[in-house]
Every structure is written in structure tokens, then in C-alpha cells.
Amino acid sequence: MIVMMLRDTLRLIGAKDGPDGAVTIHQDVKVFASRLDAGTSITHKLSLGRHAWIQLKDGELKVNDLSLSTGDGAGASDEAELRLHVETDSHFLLFDLA
């Protein structure tokens, strides 16, 4: 059932205030998990001054113009949004950081 809640969306799993069943983390961070089906695209907007880290567990993920493969991670700063697209079924974490 948890896997279905991650399918084709960014599901908040941890945050400073722990909303909507997310784990409370005592840092200025939002942690999202996702499982995207092949061919799926989603967007995550970053507020001014925020940064991101993406850790790909399985699959192939394109973040803006950067391609990632299983096990890869990537950081982003000074981006207004992250455009995430997968060609194969993929599973990853996205950290939205101060």
C-alpha cells in the first residue's frame, strides 16, 4: 500500500513540522519519495534560496538536463524548479533543503 502512495507523485515523507503523516525532522528540510512509471514527468518548485538533493535508488531519471542512473545523486542550487522525467520505472528521494 505504501508503494501505491508513492506512484507517480512526490510524496512528503519527512519535514520540520511533520504534516500529513510525514515524520518530523528537526531541520529545515522536506524529504519526498517517489516511484515514477516509465515515461512520467513531474515538476518540483524550489522557493528562493532553497537547494535540492536527489538520490536515485533504481532506474534512470533526468533532472532538468542532467541524466542520472541507479545509485547516482545530484545537487541543485539556484534553480526555480526541477523537471523530473523518467524513461524507465524509477524510485528516488528528493531533499528540499535550506
- Of the pLDDT bands very low, low, confident and very high (cuts 50, 70, 90), residue 1 is very low
Average pLDDT over residues 1-21: 79
Domain count, the chain: 1
Which phi-psi region, left, alpha or beta, contains residue 17 (left: φ > 0; alpha: ψ -120 to 50)?
alpha
- Of the pLDDT bands very low, low, confident and very high (cuts 50, 70, 90), residue 23 is very high
pLDDT digits (tens, 9 = 90+) for 30-83: 999 999 999 999 999 999 999 999 999 999 999 999 999 999 999 999 999 999
N-terminal to C-terminal alpha carbon distance within the chain: 31
Q: Tell if the pTM clears 0.85, that is, is over it.
A: yes
Residues of the domain holding 29: 2-97
| Residue 72, domain CATH | 2.60.120.10
